[in-house]
A and B are shown apart, each in its own frame.
Chain A
Amino acid sequence: MDQKHIRNFCIIAHIDHGKSTLADRIIEMTGLLTSREMQEQVLDNMDLERERGITIKAQTVRTVYKAKNGEEYIFNLIDTPGHVDFNYEVSRALAACDGAILVVDAAQGIEAQTLANVYLALDHDLDVFPVINKIDLPSADPEKVINEIEDVIGIEAQDAPLISAKNGINIDQVLEAIVEKVPAPEGDANAPLQALIFDSLYDSYKGVIAFVRIKNGTVKKGVPIKMMATGATAEVVEVGYFGAGQFIPCEELSAGMVGYITASIKNVRDTAVGDTITELNNPCTEPLPGYKKVQSMVYCGVYPADGAKYPDLKDALEKLQLNDASLFYEPETSIALGFGFRCGFLGLLHLEIIQERLEREYNLDLVTTAPSVIYKVHKTNGEVIELTNPSNLPDPSEIDYMEEPIVNAEIMVSKDYVGSIMELCQQRRGRYVSMEYMEATRALIKYELPLNEIIYDFFDALKSRSRGYASFDYELKGYEQSQMVKLDILINREEVDALSFIVHKDSAYERGRRMCEKLKDEIPRHLFEIPIQAAVGGKVIARETVKAMRKDVLAKCYGGDISRKKKLLEKQKEGKKRMRQVGNVEIPQSAFMSVLKLDEE
């Protein structure tokens, strides 16, 4: 099929605005799939994605549409991840498209993330056309949303299809708009191969499956190829395109097409997202622009609750990494928690997803330490350390100064909550940049915020202060010098390495105090009094005490209670086993986790 009849596009939307539902309708209406064959939502594969209503890995599907002009078109719908943590993946998926459908909720209007993704799409020269979804909601106000789109984003929206993806209203208009408004690809099928990798996954039979958009040239089975950035080479075993939920092999992929390539590649790291595949013996002169090495933004220690499960955890991380090149891990040991891993993530959501997958898919009980960002520690001897584990902070006397990562944050919120959101940003050491009203009732607030202030519970705090209506997006701005200190927690006068973290010196007291309060509730009483102290540089700044246990006895015990009594003792013993021994204090796993979410407000 010639390129004129191919449409490569994606759907961009804020969470819950109906992206996946619209994708389902498009797949359904283009006829390759009956309703019965559809999974609940075809594109969101993982259980987790379905539960959270977000897309974590880009999914792609190829369908055939017979347009009203009587001609058939191939639609390649490239789904994009829906969260700021996966911004880079989004950008590569966008680069594989020629156009984008912008889905906006008719009741909620534009959100911060919508804006971020639209700008990203426009940056990639995509033709963006809007559709207004959920028009059947009682609170829908399509006219207002159309004006908002025109005013805020500056794209034509008057003839935007007014649809309900959920109820299948006006989907035909969307299909026609795809044919009309998404430009056909324009590549040279006879030029040297240039294929953009926008995603990849690991299959135990086929090895790595690279998802590609062929920009120029043609690729088929048996051709030796080269990944230009990673330098890996291989011979193509199979090419094909994406059926709904399955891979369909074909003869060749040529310019303008979207499909997959397998080449017995064993490691997803060899097919980095954003890299260009070319022919080994007839390479193109330049790789496609935009390749970036993915960098972890957030780190934390991940430990098995049961120390004996360390090999299982290692195994699980290895398997997850096969499919997720952005997951980083290396072994580390903690005095309190034993053997585990320091893991790097794209952001807090990525961290939570990995943690949940480890627990759910691999059945592991985990203890994670407080998440940390990468600090740059400039030592007096001129050396610069990138610090990911607070325990590795050099002695203060060896530190000249420290730098911390700062992000540009955009928060969109209705005007009623502007005050409390700004207050939150100030508390989090934010630097005010600007505020503009998108319309009479909604404002876009821009702040520069230290990353370490938002990886904790910022998102939760944001939601609770805006009754769930604030939306939030950020990107790394750079590093700035900052007065950071290491806060240590001492339990019964012994430092617990897994509880140490880096904090701005002005927040140290407050954080330390709250940590001590929380730990006091978490640590069971022992036979002796246990002081819990927070210290900075050896100086105690906060203290709580767990009083000694004076009584733990079943005073009355009738003979018949023996089975019950035994159960009680067993439970008590089981509890002891799950404790982590630090010095002569037994600390429950939950204590390590509880300090991750120190209550706001």
Chain B
Amino acid sequence: MKSKDYTEIYVHIPFCARKCDYCDFVSFAGCKDKFDAYFAALKDQIGKTYETVGKLPIVSCFFGGGTPSVPDASYITDILALLKSKFEFLPGAEISIEVNPNSANLSKLSEYKKAGFNRLSIGLQSANNNELKALSRLHTFEEFLLTFNNAKKAGFENINIDLMSAIPLQTIDSYKETLNKVLLLKPTHISSYSLILEEGTPFYERYKDAPPVGEDEDREMYYLTKEMLKNAGYNRYEISNYAKEGYECKHNLGYWRRIPYLGFGIAAASLYKNTRFQMHSDLDRFINKDYSSDTIILTKKDSMEEFMFLGLRCTDGVSKKEFFQEFNEDLNEYYKDEISKLKKQELLKEEGDRFFLTDKGLDVANYCMSEFIK
């Protein structure tokens, strides 16, 4: 079976206990009175989608947010059960859920496990309590430790820990300490993102003129992550993602390899039959069963561009053979000028069948990727 014959599923849970000041994802604090209606609409959307697409083979499923661990576990496990009844989950399918330390206790985590989740992603961000406070996070490092141990107790082997660099109050040393503390726990996967000041967030207003951490330090933290995690046996397989061998997040890799995916819930995106869908972000409209999306039908040119700028997020880059199989075009020929320019600047490297960004290229990935937009 070719990889494009699989499908992935993403479910968006737009609820949080509190909205973090740096976050620009679609989520709402509180809103408990809307849980019932939202999950009912989700079920309705899943049913209707199934009627259109049929019993697709599913290779991965991801519950993201927001904070999926905020509503009671039964809301979540009901949705997963419904998905499993409608679609064909392949053996070994990766089923992930994002949780936050103070909203996921042992019983909740156990229910997730029982329902079939086999991967957890815990939002820690920092092991320094002052930094957590500056991020407006609601938990401490100690509370995270409890959650992590509970996750183990509940039977989760495959756990990702989310970290952030270049955040307020952070220094190279405090970041190093965060990494060290996290490494002691030996998670299978670590994501470390450097802070992005997203327009419209309180952080943007607060820091747009003077970012909390300078660019040189920001880069130093990035290199430090790569080096320390490499020494601890983690491989950087994507711009901000590190994993022990075999534990790369299948779901995320699917995005970069343009595997079709169905998104459920507000603001969720889908890629299906060469069309990208983007659901609206209006909670009430969704509850009223309005599932309309913006759609973009991808031309061959669009798809080739996506192939490049998504594929190059992965450290192993893109395959010339796959490019040819998909588009019947010679990658070296089609992007001749762009390739030669980036190679000359030592941002892109060619090895055997593959093109990939160098470390320097990954630092300025946007610059490199924009070259492939014709």
Question: A-side interface residues toward B, CB under 8 Å?
Answer: 527, 549-563, 565-566, 568-570, 572-573, 576
Contact = CB atoms under 8 A, between A and B. Distances in A.
A17 to B, nearest CB: 45
- Most B CB within 10 A of own CB, among A551, A553, A569: A553
29 contacts: A527-B364, A549-B364, A550-B215, A550-B218, A551-B219, A551-B364, A552-B363, A552-B364, A553-B363, A553-B364, A553-B366, A555-B193, A555-B240, A556-B196, A559-B10, A559-B263, A559-B271, A560-B267, A560-B278, A562-B271, A562-B276, A565-B309, A569-B309, A569-B369, A572-B366, A572-B370, A572-B373, A573-B373, A576-B370
Interface string B236-280: 000110000000000010110000010100011101000010100
Given A527-B345, A559-B252, A562-B310, A550 B365 contact: no
A177 to B, nearest CB: 62
- Most B CB within 10 A of own CB, among A554, A557, A559, A573: A559
Interface of B: 10, 25, 64, 193-194, 196, 215-216, 218-219, 239-240, 252, 254-255, 261, 263, 267-269, 271, 276, 278, 294, 296, 302, 305-306, 309-310, 313, 345, 347, 362-367, 369-371, 373
Contacts of A556: 193, 196, 240
A568 B367 CA distance: 11
B196 A560 contact: no
Top 3 closest A-B pairs, CB basis? A560-B269, A559-B255, A572-B370
A554 B263 CA distance: 22
A410 B366 CA distance: 55
B215 A553 contact: no
Given A559-B269, A562-B306, A573-B373, 12 more contacts: A527-B347, A549-B364, A550-B215, A551-B363, A553-B365, A554-B366, A555-B194, A559-B261, A560-B278, A563-B294, A568-B366, A569-B373
Contacts of B345: 527
Contacts of B369: 569
Contacts of A570: 370, 373
A577 to B, nearest CB: 10
B365 A554 contact: yes
A38 B205 CA distance: 51
A569 B276 contact: no
Nearest to A547: B215
Contacts of B64: 558
B362 A553 contact: yes
Contact of A550 (B294, B310, B363): B363
B308 to A, nearest CB: 10
Nearest to A553: B365
Contacts of B255: 558-559, 562
A560 B65 CA distance: 12
Contacts of B364: 527, 549-553
Interface residue SS majority, chain A? helix
A523 to B, nearest CB: 15
Contacts of A568: 366
B281 to A, nearest CB: 11
Given A562-B269, A573-B371, A554 B196 contact: yes
A563 B269 contact: yes
Contacts of A569: 309, 366, 369-370, 373
A45 B68 CA distance: 66
B268 A560 contact: yes
A565 B239 CA distance: 15
Nearest to B372: A569
A549 B363 CA distance: 9
Contacts of A555: 193-194, 196, 239-240
B276 A527 contact: no
A299 to B, nearest CB: 37
A466 to B, nearest CB: 33
A572 B296 CA distance: 20
B93 to A, nearest CB: 17
B94 to A, nearest CB: 14
Given A573-B371, A573-B373, A566 B306 contact: yes
A96 to B, nearest CB: 59
Contacts of B371: 573
A563 B363 contact: no
A38 B216 CA distance: 66
A559 B276 CA distance: 11
Contacts of B25: 558
Contacts of B313: 557
A576 B306 CA distance: 19
Nearest to A555: B193
Given A562-B276, A563-B276, A552 B367 contact: yes
B305 A566 contact: yes
Contact of B239 (A553, A559, A576): A553
Contacts of A551: 194, 215, 218-219, 363-364
Given A560-B269, A562-B310, A573-B371, A550 B366 contact: no
B183 to A, nearest CB: 20
A560 B25 CA distance: 10
B296 A563 contact: yes
A552 B373 contact: no
B112 to A, nearest CB: 21
Contacts of A552: 363-367
Contacts of A553: 239, 362-366
A565 B305 CA distance: 12
A565 B310 CA distance: 10
Contacts of B194: 551, 555
Nearest to B276: A563
Nearest to B165: A555
Contacts of B254: 559
A585 to B, nearest CB: 13
A560 to B, nearest CB: 3
B203 to A, nearest CB: 13
Nearest to B310: A562
